[in-house]
Structure 1
Amino acid sequence: MIKITDLVVALTYDLKMLEDMVAKRLHIEHSRIERISITKRTVNARNKEDIHFDMTVVVCISGDENEVIAMNRNKSISQETELIYTVPTIKKLKERPVIVGCGPAGMFAALILAQAGARPILLERGLDVDSRKRKVLNFWRTGILDTQTNVQFGEGGAGAFSDGKLKIGQKNCRKMKVLNEFVQAGAPPEILYLSKPHIGTDRLNDTVKRIREQVISLGGEVRFKATVTEILIKDGQVTGVRFEEKGKNSEVSTDNVVLAIGHSARDTFESLLNSGVYIEQKPFAVGVRIEHAQEMIDKIQYGGFAGHPELGAADYKMVVHLQNGRGVYTFCMCPGGTVVAATSEENRLTTNGMSEFARDGRNANTALLVTIGKNDLDNDDPLAGCAFQRRIEAAAFAAGGGGYKAPVQRLEDFLQKRKTTAFGDVLPTYLPGTEFAELDSFLPEYITHSLRQAILEMDQWMPGFAYPDALLTGAETRSSSPVRITRGDSLEAIGIKGLYPCGEGAGYAGGIISAAVDGVLCAEQILG
């Protein structure tokens, strides 16, 4: 296969246009092209008068490919090797491995183990994705929270209610394995080549369900409403797992546990710490959600091309490094999306953002986050970051007046340090409802000070970002885990054989793809 990396392609391209461009670039006859596959497509909007796609393609041709590459002598033309993942051959396992948590990390650990014939047992404290969706929608409508099944807990993990954005980076065989499994389970095929792919919350549900069905069909077992209460350890070796399932205490014997518990399993962190598992503090971030009209973001990013059907809803990403040493950045940007209630604990409030596949909502939203380090915490307790998050969530709940209503403030009012009394052009998308409140009433001063500085700097990069009627909703506290369950080169927890801390909750991933790949890696270690 031949890879071509710098094709400049019009927004309205078709296959014939691509074939013509490839034949011209390779200096070959059109008839020699057998197949073209797009491997990367990025919107280039640097020049608002000439927005186009930058594209990488892989081409199969008849005849000698090396001869064509040598003839062209161009850095953008090279030999390409297909990235193929091979499931490891199973070694003999004494007992069935157990996976705790059914987010991306746990789901893909279970899938690889099942495909290898290891018949894993997956324990998830929440409900299956269909039942979970009903619980979450009811919470958003009524404010009635189920602490075991919500935006954080349940099949699919936290990512199931945050747009299904996939941060790919440099592709390798494990990432391609994850992407291909998603596509085979019903995800849109374009996730294989878009530079910023997403599945959409509405389509991710069915995708997750089909992966679970595959695990079961291969001899695996998936148990919902199964909350792990203790990892059993003897002489530095995992021996089993205790869990509460549908109100009854149960126990399963195993010598391999993948701990893919997610960043919000605070009760499990406490249990692990009490069992002697080594946990350490990790930097994280806290902030708010900011909403603009999507139409406005489209015009800022695409100019006269705004609304072009091939571009869809525009997104953005910004990072600011302030003189006070803090970083402030946008995170989990949701074009045409909604701000959602994402708490998992009573009388505490945290937000997230999500989009459906169409990304056709009236507002765009993103998290605006300020970095938090060890110096911001009260003590050296490994769980001090969890306590920090909880204090802000409790204060945000109070500022919203209870009932999981979120405190909101117009951007202009926030910058002027005054309470909002009426909405402007931008109306909130958050449910169960909102209440006007000053962000300073629930966020530490150094966070709000950093946000004010950063917003004005971001407006220099993206004029219009500091729009007076943009809406700030708080608080955003669960963007990443505040702890790391430390592991060694074998991916096992320090001093505990057979315990594999995995994914975002353990501090080793930062999104759906990286968490899923970490699950694959842990499964490989178990399989030897």
Structure 2
Amino acid sequence: MLRLTEIRLPLDHPADELRNAILKRLGIAAAALQGFTIFRRGYDARKRNAIVLVYTVDAEVENEGALLKKNIPHVAIAPDMSYRYVAQAPQGLSERPVVIGTGPCGIFAGLLLAQMGCRPIILERGKEVRERTRDTWGLWRKGKLDPESNVQFGEGGAGTFSDGKLHSQIKDPKFYGRKVLTEFVKAGAPEEIMYVSKPHIGTFRLVGMVEEMRHEMERLGAEIRFQSRVEDIEIDGGKVRGVVLANGERIATSHVVLAVGHSARDTFEMLHKRGVYMEAKPFSIGFRIEHPQSVIDRARLGPNAGNPVLGAADYKLVHHAGNGRSVYSFCMCPGGTVVAATSEAGRVVTNGMSQYSRNERNANSGIVVGITPDDYPGDVLAGVEFQRKWEARAFELGGRSYHAPAQRVGDFLAGRSSTHLGEVLPSYTPGVTPTDLSTALPDYAIAAIREALPAFDKQIKGFAMDDAVLTGVETRTSSPVRIRRGEDFQSINTRGLYPAGEGAGYAGGILSAAVDGIEVAEAVALAITAQQVTQAT
């Protein structure tokens, strides 16, 4: 199989033009091309009036070796991306591994362990995905929060209520990302996620996929328990011995995958008390910003705005402010909504979400400021308290009803309170309260965002439009702690504990968390099989 890169074709090219481009690139007759698949399709919009599609394809041809000898530019051997299991659990496995959490990391850790015959027990503090969805809508529509079943907690993890983005900048030499996409397609995702450059799924489709993956794990011998919050992890002599649930039940195990997500604050506290080594890490805080999607489409795509091949336009922005802070767009959701994402009473947290169609009227994105542990001195959990402080302030500014504080960009830049909103209707539910956001974040963050918005307007005309809406606050960009692990993926001071995914500080998004789950599952499977062999001898 040959891989051809940088095949550039017009946006409206006919279907057979890609095949013709392959033949031309390789200099072969049509009969010599036995078949091809699209590995990646993106687009180059640097010239808005002449946007082109950019393809990478894998082609099966006659006389492959002879073609390689010609050293044709942008043609090489296609890598082998097939997944191979690193271990297979022996029959009569004496002990089952435990996976805590059913976000992307926990799901893939559980799925891979099940596929390797390890029959994992998977524990989730929240509810199964459809019940959880009803509880989440309870907050959005009625202002009623369930602390154990919400945007952060429950089957599918925080990524279920997001744009469902499946791209990442992680290094992936073993093509684990391909394994993730393949399993998603098997579970019902559209096949286009295998090749579009910025694949996404959307919440409605994710719900069905999560259910299908759960059924597959159970078919393979996994046991999945909902409303099963882990209260404690038993550690003796620096080794995991078991987990204790909130109902008092103890599950004996010496292998625990900790995939709890970035909002499991009580779990972080428990681990800290238990002496598991962790450290404070940088994260970011800010607001959500909303514009009409049409404004972003025109600015990014020009006369091609609205083209169905391109879909709703996105953006990625960075500004280095004069006070030394970096401001950047985070989790941009084209044609989406701003959602209530708190998991604790008396606090307001925002996030963004899109459906697969991305056809809502507004575009939204986090506009966030990078911070470090120097900004919240204290013990390892000081970042959690820092987040709580600003989430509680947002709750207060919003009127103490889970309404979010909001402000027109024009008023924010002018330093005056908003008394009303303009033509951009905020999408956040239960609702917003127009106010002054200048006290919703630290002064340095407010100053940096005020400087960044006009700078972003130079890149995307209309970005700093007066009626664009800022909604506060965005604090859960990533985990405020990192639970350190070694090359074997185990905690550096607690054998048998495998910190994984976003909550442990090793991922940032659905794809990277899922890949981390695969890597950790492999480490656990290898350790279990080695332990079984040792016991047998």
TM-score (norm 1): 0.97
> How many Å separate the matches in 2 of 1:463 and 1:310?
23
Measured on the aligned residues, the alpha-carbon RMSD in Å equals: 1.1
1:259 CA drift (Å): 0.3
SS of 1:112's partner is: helix
Who is 1:286 aligned against?
A: 285
**Which residue of the other structure, out of 421, 445, 448, is the alignment partner of 2:446?**
448
1:378 CA drift (Å): 3.3
Residue identity matched to 1:249 = G
1:14 CA drift (Å): 4.5
Aligned length: 522
**Which residue of the other structure, out of 225, 228, 233, is the alignment partner of 2:230?**
228
Residue identity matched to 2:192 = E
Residue identity matched to 1:24 = K
Residue identity matched to 2:491 = A
Who is 1:269 aligned against?
A: 268
Residue identity matched to 1:119 = R
The reply on whether 1:483 has 2:481 as its aligned counterpart is yes
SS of 1:435's partner is: strand
Residues 50-89 of structure 1: pairs in structure 2 closer than 5 A? 50-61=50-61, 63-71=62-70, 73-89=71-87
Residue identity matched to 2:259 = A
Who is 2:300 aligned against?
A: 301
> How many Å separate the matches in 2 of 1:26 and 1:217?
46
> How many Å separate the matches in 1 of 2:78 and 2:87?
27
> How many Å separate the matches in 1 of 2:480 and 2:204?
29
Residues 494-505 of structure 1: pairs in structure 2 closer than 5 A? 494-505=492-503
Q: Any conservation in 2 of the 1:263–1:504 contact (CA below 8 Å)?
A: yes
TM-superposition CA deviations, 1:283-312 (whole Å, max 9, x none):
000000000000111000111111112111
SS of 1:263's partner is: coil
Who is 2:125 aligned against?
A: 125
Residue identity matched to 1:262 = G
Who is 2:530 aligned against?
A: none
Residues 37-436 of structure 1: pairs in structure 2 closer than 5 A? 37-61=37-61, 63-71=62-70, 73-92=71-90, 94-169=94-169, 172-244=174-246, 248-379=247-378, 381-436=379-434
Who is 2:534 aligned against?
A: none
Q: Any conservation in 1 of the 2:99–2:120 contact (CA below 8 Å)?
A: yes
Q: Any conservation in 2 of the 1:168–1:195 contact (CA below 8 Å)?
A: no
Residue identity matched to 1:468 = D
> How many Å separate the matches in 1 of 2:122 and 2:445?
39
> How many Å separate the matches in 2 of 1:419 and 1:66?
69
Who is 1:11 aligned against?
A: 11
1:209 CA drift (Å): 1.0
> How many Å separate the matches in 1 of 2:35 and 2:450?
52
SS of 1:270's partner is: helix
Residue identity matched to 2:176 = R
Q: Runs of 4+ in structure 1 displaced over 6 angstroms? A: none
SS of 2:249's partner is: strand
1:440 CA drift (Å): 1.2
> How many Å separate the matches in 2 of 1:108 and 1:35?
32
1:91 CA drift (Å): 4.5
Who is 2:437 aligned against?
A: 439
Residue identity matched to 2:340 = A
- What is the percent sequence identity of the aligned residues? 49
> How many Å separate the matches in 1 of 2:336 and 2:357?
9
Residues 10-29 of structure 1: pairs in structure 2 closer than 5 A? 10-29=10-29
> How many Å separate the matches in 1 of 2:290 and 2:436?
16
> How many Å separate the matches in 1 of 2:453 and 2:72?
43
Q: Any conservation in 2 of the 1:66–1:79 contact (CA below 8 Å)?
A: no
SS of 2:447's partner is: helix
1:448 CA drift (Å): 0.5
Q: Any conservation in 2 of the 1:125–1:153 contact (CA below 8 Å)?
A: yes
> How many Å separate the matches in 2 of 1:402 and 1:206?
34
1:314 CA drift (Å): 0.4
1:40 CA drift (Å): 1.2
SS of 1:386's partner is: helix
> How many Å separate the matches in 2 of 1:313 and 1:340?
19
1:168 CA drift (Å): 3.4
> How many Å separate the matches in 2 of 1:453 and 1:442?
17
> How many Å separate the matches in 2 of 1:229 and 1:306?
51
1:16 CA drift (Å): 1.4
Residue identity matched to 1:127 = K
Who is 2:532 aligned against?
A: none
Q: Where do 5+ consecutive residues of structure 2 fail to align?
A: 527-537
TM-superposition CA deviations, 1:158-191 (whole Å, max 9, x none):
0000111112345542111111001111111111
